[in-house]
Structure 1
Amino acid sequence: MKMRTGLGSKMFDGFNLVFMVVLMAVTLYPILYVLFASFSNPTAVATSSGILWHPVDFTTAGYKLVFQNKNIWHGFRNTLTYVSVGTILSLSSTALAAYTLSRKGPLWNKLIMMMIVVTMFFGGGLIPMFLLIKKLGMINTIWAIVLPPMISAYNIIVMKTFFQGISNELIESAKMDGANDLTVFFRIVMPVSWAVISVIGLFYAVSEWNSWFAASIYLRDRELYPMQLYLREILVQNKVDFSMVSTSDMDGIAAKQIIKYAAIIVTTLPILFVYPFLQKYFVKGVMIGSLKE
């Protein structure tokens, strides 16, 4: 049956279409600008006016300079370590906590849930956290990066709500067959929860990938710096290794500009490639985890 749409409905749909196209253009163009500029001659970009629709005087010199920088490779290695270790620890601890809190029975569940919610609004602050990390001997170690943000109260709530939607009869029948809580969790609950697991894992991975502030506070050894901290030095502090610039065929100022554009693309693309593989789980995981049926 074909539904009739009135003039008001058509105007509303048209307005939504125009609004989304404009929003997409505003969001997408800065990324495209940086991408085009990274393949352009920096002098041509500086002298050009208007919108940049394509690379000007195409060159890959910026990427050559970036990949010649050993700090970028150290940053990639460290960031991949922090992301992999941090995501595994965060996802496993969040899933275990959420599953425990989602089960009916224990009287202390509500009290613990209340304490978790309180942490969303109140915290000790930066100085007490720094003193705690220092007292635990985690300064200048990987644990200062992955342990403090290991569990998110919001993610626990989302995953807990998802687990509450799993059939209780399924879990009870498994226990009647002799399965303990760990068996139920790993062999029944986890296989049917890939949607929310993928989404929460993506949240943790992106957070670790973009993190630089904790590293700037807790890390003293530059060999342990994540990639984003090196990127901050290039973009904000304007620090560029001129030993590699001198080997290029452009002056220092132009090289610094093209290195900035290329470094942004190099540090952004890897995490963007993850989204297409998790896209089918994204909406489903967030909606089911946010709303209880």
Structure 2
Amino acid sequence: MKDQMNGLTKSGKIIIYLYMLFTCLVSVFPILWIFLSSLKADPMKNPGLSLPTELSFDGYIKVFTELHVLDYFWNSFKVVSISVFISIIMISMSSYVIARMEFRGKKLITMMLYSTLFIPATAMTFPVYRLVNVLGIYNTPLALMFVYSCSGIAMSFFIIRNYFAIIPKDLEEAAEIDGASYPQIFWKIMLPIARPGILTAAILSFINNWNEFYWASMLVINPKELTVPALLAQFTTDFNTNYNGLFSAIVVIILPPILLFTFASKYFIEALGGGAVKG
């Protein structure tokens, strides 16, 4: 990246820096706006990106003391972690087969996996709701695990498959000569090499499922099993909305994904750069 920047003209560098600055401002603006609003006693009286005239931490206090946000955090972490683990294992195996092997119907299967990207959640409402009831897992964490394990398949498949595809075939051929079976090649050789791509897909899936509200509010109504997004509904009634508490809850909810992405950013860079595969 540094070498590429050195090859640009001065005007080109200025344009790139201005674009990056604009992108940062657009990304940070909503987070900063929500954070400042959470510190205002009544955000509607002093709306917008402005400093609070008087600091108010009532929303944060209510989130941790009255609503017990840590219980919601545990419910979300339990559901999301298990579903991501199941999903990534299945997608990693299917991605390896499609990326490294030739068989009849390969293009059709690939197309079907990618097509899930264009199916909105609302179109699946009735079939999923009925299936969850038939399986007897409605209003349990298993319902969300079942749905989340099958969600976001296209994006995870795209990332992991592309990473498997760039790994040199010499590694597989050398392992086959040494007598390794396909499962051994996958688990002991291919999977560790593709770790950056797999972790990138897992983190993106974790963040998407952590913030998911549609299925979380529909399939689970037991207050003891509600996930983090359902916490937001606690601040809205038919007659009033507690915006101070709502914004405070949003700040608390978005912190784990931000911290997760911050600590795992090196895997994103490595995955986008194609990894460090040496022949």
- Specify the code of the residue in structure 2 equivalent to 1:211: E
Cα distance in 2 between the residues matched to 1:3 and 1:223 = 56
- Displacement of 1:179 in angstroms is 1.6
- Specify the code of the residue in structure 2 equivalent to 1:89: I
Corresponding residue number in structure 2 for 1:33: 33
> Of the candidates 69, 73, 88, which is equivalent to residue 76 of structure 1?
73
- Displacement of 1:70 in angstroms is 3.6
- Displacement of 1:74 in angstroms is 2.6
Corresponding residue number in structure 1 for 2:168: 167
Whether 2:121 is the aligned partner of 1:135: answer: no
Maintained 8 Å contact 1:216/1:229? yes
Cα distance in 1 between the residues matched to 2:155 and 2:203 = 14
- Where structure 1 has 5 or more consecutive residues not aligned to the other structure, the ranges are 241-251
- Cα deviation, 1:137-173, whole Å, max 9, x if unaligned, reads 2211222212223240232133112111111111121
- Displacement of 1:215 in angstroms is 1.9
**Percent identity of the aligned residues?**
23
Q: Secondary structure at the match of 1:196?
A: helix
> Of the candidates 44, 50, 68, which is equivalent to residue 52 of structure 1?
50
Cα distance change of structure 1 residues 202 and 170 upon mapping to structure 2, 3 Å threshold: same
TM-score w.r.t. the length of structure 1 is 0.79
Aligned residues: 268
Maintained 8 Å contact 1:195/1:282? yes
Whether 2:230 is the aligned partner of 1:278: answer: no
- Specify the code of the residue in structure 2 equivalent to 1:175: E
- Cα deviation, 1:167-195, whole Å, max 9, x if unaligned, reads 11111211222222221112111211121
- Cα deviation, 1:24-63, whole Å, max 9, x if unaligned, reads 22331331232233334x15x555577424x543343332
Cα distance in 1 between the residues matched to 2:218 and 2:104 = 40
Larger-Rg structure: 1
Cα distance change of structure 1 residues 261 and 153 upon mapping to structure 2, 3 Å threshold: closer
- Specify the code of the residue in structure 1 equivalent to 2:50: L
Cα distance in 1 between the residues matched to 2:130 and 2:210 = 25
- Specify the code of the residue in structure 2 equivalent to 1:39: L
Cα distance in 2 between the residues matched to 1:114 and 1:82 = 29
Cα distance in 2 between the residues matched to 1:26 and 1:153 = 27
- In the TM superposition, 1:138-153 aligns within 5 A as 138-151=137-150, 152-153=153-154
Whether 2:183 is the aligned partner of 1:197: answer: no
TM-score w.r.t. the length of structure 2 is 0.83
Cα distance in 1 between the residues matched to 2:30 and 2:166 = 40
Q: Secondary structure at the match of 1:204?
A: helix
Q: Secondary structure at the match of 1:29?
A: helix
> Of the candidates 103, 109, 114, which is equivalent to residue 111 of structure 2?
114
> Of the candidates 248, 252, 257, which is equivalent to residue 262 of structure 1?
248
Cα distance in 2 between the residues matched to 1:74 and 1:83 = 14
- Displacement of 1:238 in angstroms is 4.0
Cα distance in 2 between the residues matched to 1:178 and 1:211 = 45
- Specify the code of the residue in structure 1 equivalent to 2:130: L
Give RMSD over aligned pairs: 3.0
- Where structure 2 has 5 or more consecutive residues not aligned to the other structure, the ranges are none
